[in-house]
Chain A
Amino acid sequence: MELTFENNIPIYIQLLDYLKIYLISGVFKPGEKLPSVREFATTFKVNPNTMQKALSELENKNLIYTERTNGKYVTNNKELIEKLKDEYAVTLAKSYFQGMKRIGLGKAESIKYLEGIDE
């Protein structure tokens, strides 16, 4: 899992984004044990302190939790993950419509374009 980063956005925010996608898409499943900060940092080739910061943010949102001696786990609360997915989808949709608006296309027209695209 090699990630790429933009230098103009805080690295921990970009990491947080990648981690959210992993949770939403089930790369890490509810209740599953996560790699250690060190392992994560090595795999993603980031500074361990930055990795720690991204994981703390996830923990603040209750998406992961720490078992005192055992490490970090994905929440068992599937609803939280669903909610995350929903929020993420809304963000993607908004950015699509914003892009279309910039070239003068309204919502209805934009949806037509979506329907015209084969996956």
Chain B
Amino acid sequence: MELLEIKDLSKKYENKYALKNINLKLSSGKIIGLLGKNGAGKSTLIKLINDLLTPTDGEILIKGNKVGVESKKIISYLPERTYLNKQMRVNEVLNYFEDFYDDFDIQKAKRLLKDLDLDDNQKLSKMSKGMQEKVQLVLVMSRNADLYILDEPLGGVDPATRDYILDTILSNFNENASVIISTHLISDIERILDEVVFIDKGEIALQSDTDELREKENASIDEIFRRMFKC
């Protein structure tokens, strides 16, 4: 059974299609890049998979079941914008996650925070934007989920932290789980991807194994993407 199956999915805002006729199958044990320009429909697709929006047409199945309460238990989602209460201290957020998610590994979260030199006594509001993003990523990667969905995880972080984040993603995903990473920063991330999905104007323009695509086009994914969607 596929981990994620999307059938004839469309999402319309008023009269405009944000997503049109999306069909996609993803299996376990893969890191998938969801790549597209700003406004291509990446975040809409991710919100639909997370049951935060209702499709206009079509359906999304997670392990064969429609998205809903059950799928939320097995999807660990990093949204584009934080939803955490900034008045909380990091250790309070950890406890909150432990109460809320059965699959949250608090020891692992503490270890990762320590690796990143983050003080778990600090209030989120006292942290820089980059530090807050790191905390959020640690929370998401410390769940033992079946599917991790990271919406623009590299947005505001420096190159050294970006490398640490990629390593964290690599070393924390296992053969039973998959990771979907949405980004427009392709060159930073392409080396860790098994598969890429190009999304443009609400439609899937291409889905391929990453190395096969490099071999076929004799170019980097970033380069191929630029060629396809030249402004």
- Since A48-B175, A50-B211 are in contact, a sample of 5 more A-B pairs with Cβ atoms closer than 8 Å, ordered by chain A residue number, is A13-B211, A42-B170, A45-B166, A47-B31, A50-B194
Report the 3 A-B pairs with minimum CB-CB distance, sorted nearest first: A7-B220, A10-B211, A8-B220
**Does any Cβ of B come within 8 Å of A84's Cβ?**
no
Q: Are B170 and A41 interface neighbours, CB within 8 A? A: yes
Q: Are A7 and B192 interface neighbours, CB within 8 A? A: no
Chain A residues within 8 Å of B214, by CB: 7-11
Chain A nearest CB, measured from B84 CB (Å): 29
Interface digits, A1-43 against B, CB 8 Å rule (1 contact, 0 not)? 0000111111111000000000000000000000000000110
Interface digits, A32-73 against B, CB 8 Å rule (1 contact, 0 not)? 000000000110011111100100000000000000000000
Q: Are B215 and A10 interface neighbours, CB within 8 A? A: yes
B173 and chain A: residue at smallest CB distance: A48
Chain A nearest CB, measured from B183 CB (Å): 14
Chain B residues within 8 Å of A50, by CB: 194, 211
List residues of A whose CB falls within 8 A of some B CB: 5-13, 41-42, 45-50, 53
Chain A nearest CB, measured from B210 CB (Å): 8
Q: Are A46 and B191 interface neighbours, CB within 8 A? A: yes
**Does any Cβ of A come within 8 Å of B171's Cβ?**
yes
Chain B residues within 8 Å of A13, by CB: 211, 215
A7 with B193: in contact, given A41-B170, A45-B167, A50-B211 (CB under 8 Å)?
A: no
